[in-house]
Chains A and B, each alone.
Chain A
Amino acid sequence: MRRIMSSRTQNTKSRDALQNSRKARGRAPFLFLAPAIIVVFAVLIFPIIFSLFVSTYDWPLSQGAGARSFVGFGNYIALTKDPEFWNSLKLQLGFIFLAIPIELVVGFAAALLLNREFFGSRVVRSLLLLPVFFLPILSGMTWRFMLQPRYGPLNALIVRLGGPEISWLGNPIYAYIAIILQDIWRMWPFMFMLLYAGLTAIPQELMEAAEIDGAGFWRKLGSLTIPLLTPTILTAVLLRIIDALRVFSEVYVMTEGGPGSATMLFSLYTQRQAFGYQKVGMASAMAIFLLIISIVFALTLVRKNMSLDVLEEKAGA
């Protein structure tokens, strides 16, 4: 700092340098951003535009681009008449509406429980996060194993408790429950992690003041903790929805969408359309549909958090 001060007042040469740099500033941000913009254009924006283009064609994958024929909105209209499309949409929404609220409740309860120091509290808090970073395909594989009839540990437990032996992944309803169970197992610690961070950010004096005023656990929870945590909860839920909209690997490894199409979530059906039925045009129409929904949620999250301004304020303070 001292060096700047002295050079600003004494050294005219460096004043020139400063002014030059201001002139050069017009181009500088572009030079720094250009590589990223080029990459984003090549592997994100162009593919999206290309998807839009493909989605207006009847485009059989196996016969190459030569066999395509223009159908306009034909693929989108065909989708609305495709029961499998509605099935995958229904399963996808069900997945989101069943898994995420449970993850939120479990994660919140755990955050409340673990928001204190006890013997081993740090160890518990950090090890709980391992499933979040567990490879998705390994999560799918692990649960496929857990749920096997005859030798799967979960079945063994159910049988020991006197229950029936269930062929989880062979039964449509149980398979659907199983993929949701897998997601809850892997992702409630994610909710826990964000909510715990939110809880520790609540000023302790607030809680103590409420205690002095005679507020009990539930009163504090309802009138202090939950209102103060609402922004964190919203962020966590939005992040999870965006993530759950694109779930693929875990379910692909667990069930490949089966039995039948009982666990054929949106991404799995899109993949099946493109590379199973070879209908690239139809698949692209589905891809665009999911893209629009995801962008809506992503924009909601971005608008809500406006992280850039927060960062600047923090840096300026």
Chain B
Amino acid sequence: MMGTPRKRTRKIIVNSIIAIVAFLVLAIELYPIAITVLNGFRRDINILSGQPFQLKQLTLRSYQLVLKNAGFQLGMKNSIIIGILSTGISVLIGAMASYGIARFHFRGRNGLAYSFLVFRMLPQISLVISLYLMFSAVGLRDTIGGITLAHTSFNVPYVIWLLLPFFTAVDKAYEEAAMVDGCTRSGVFFKIFLPIVAPGLVVGAVFAFLNSWNEFMYALILTGVKAKTAPVAINGLLGGETLTWGQACAAGTIMLIPVFIFTLGMQKFLIRGITAGGVKG
């Protein structure tokens, strides 16, 4: 085998070139994110003058300002409350529905399941105008309850389809055994089934929370002062007379923390998370 060592050197060279190209692409791709994070640690004066970045510019001033900013404080608080509420409701209701679809064969089952999938893909702008009129009529506009309900509207169908593959993968024998022992259907679901699919529920909860956390249009239109979320507050920081890039970037970086933690922690489930039901199996 004369060719083997030469082949191996060639492979090493090719792989090194690919590694260099790949890291270059990665650097270009992540540059805008890095700039945003970095700007959060700079003064507006340094940002607006277009000076190149220097280490001695680093400061926590923008963070101090934005964390003291009443609008952003309220937005963060609301975002966390709305995220947790809509996630809790969506995971509970979504898990029940997903179980109903995974375990029962009834008439119209396919139609129902697929309409949930279609509902997940509807454009928000098509719903937000009537939601605005409806919420105004019943006093839900600019309330935590109203925006939570709006976020639930996309999270319930989303969770149903995200959980389906987790649910259909569970062997029916566990539940059948429990039913033979006299357990009721709901008892089986809550006491036997949910603990088995706990990992799936965690994945569902994480992505449902991120959906709510990242959402902007409903929050912009359906909230005003009291129930506005952090993304709306950040948009407010950008709209003023003077551009406060430093504060907007600091606020943005704070918003990014859960996103990055979850994204990097959920590697295995990212495709499922972002396509939920849109991709085979």
Interface presence of A113 (CB below 8 A): yes
Task: Give the interface segment out of A69-77, A79-87, A93-101, A121-129.
Answer: A121-129
Q: For the complex, what is the distance from the CA of A48 to the CA of B134, rounded to whole Å?
A: 11
Q: For the complex, what is the distance from the CA of A54 to the CA of B125, rounded to whole Å?
A: 14
On chain B, the residues within 8 Å of A51 by CB distance are 126-127, 129-130
Q: For the complex, what is the distance from the CA of A46 to the CA of B112, rounded to whole Å?
A: 16
Within 8 A of B (CB), among A171-199: 185, 189-190, 193-194, 197
On chain B, the residues within 8 Å of A146 by CB distance are 32, 35
Within 8 A of B (CB), among A257-316: 266-267, 270-271, 274-275, 280, 283-284, 287-288, 290-291, 294-295, 297-299, 301-302, 305, 307-308, 310-312, 314-315
On chain A, the residues within 8 Å of B274 by CB distance are 132, 190, 193
Interface presence of B66 (CB below 8 A): no
On chain A, the residues within 8 Å of B150 by CB distance are 43
Question: Given that A28-B185, A120-B22 are contacting pairs, would A274 and B129 also be in contact in the complex, using a CB cutoff of 8 Å?
Answer: yes
Please give the number of chain B residues whose Cβ is less than 8 angstroms from any Cβ of chain A in the complex: 111
Q: For the complex, what is the distance from the CA of A33 to the CA of B103, rounded to whole Å?
A: 11
Q: Are B116 and A134 in contact (CB under 8 A)?
A: no
Question: Of the candidates B157, B173, B267, which one forms a contact with A126 in the assembled complex, judged by CB atoms under 8 Å apart?
Answer: B267
Q: For the complex, what is the distance from the CA of A93 to the CA of B259, rounded to whole Å?
A: 30
Q: Are A141 and B125 in contact (CB under 8 A)?
A: no
- B247-279 vs A, CB cutoff 8 Å, 1 = contact: the mask equals 011001001100110111001001100110111
- B111-152 vs A, CB cutoff 8 Å, 1 = contact: the mask equals 011101111011111111111111001000000000001101
- Tell me the minimal C-beta distance from B237 to chain A in angstroms: 9
Interface presence of B208 (CB below 8 A): no
Q: For the complex, what is the distance from the CA of A138 to the CA of B34, rounded to whole Å?
A: 12
- Tell me the minimal C-beta distance from A107 to chain B in angstroms: 11
On chain A, the residues within 8 Å of B279 by CB distance are 194, 235, 239, 305, 307
Q: For the complex, what is the distance from the CA of A253 to the CA of B219, rounded to whole Å?
A: 14
Q: For the complex, what is the distance from the CA of A297 to the CA of B118, rounded to whole Å?
A: 9
On chain B, the residues within 8 Å of A266 by CB distance are 125
Interface presence of B198 (CB below 8 A): no
On chain B, the residues within 8 Å of A224 by CB distance are none
On chain A, the residues within 8 Å of B118 by CB distance are 295, 298-299, 302
Q: Are A17 and B179 in contact (CB under 8 A)?
A: yes
Interface presence of A90 (CB below 8 A): no
Interface presence of B85 (CB below 8 A): no
Q: Are A287 and B25 in contact (CB under 8 A)?
A: no
For the A-B complex with A17-B179, A39-B156, A194-B271 known, give 7 more contacts whose Cβ atoms are closer than 8 Å. Answer: A30-B100, A33-B97, A113-B18, A128-B29, A252-B235, A288-B126, A307-B279
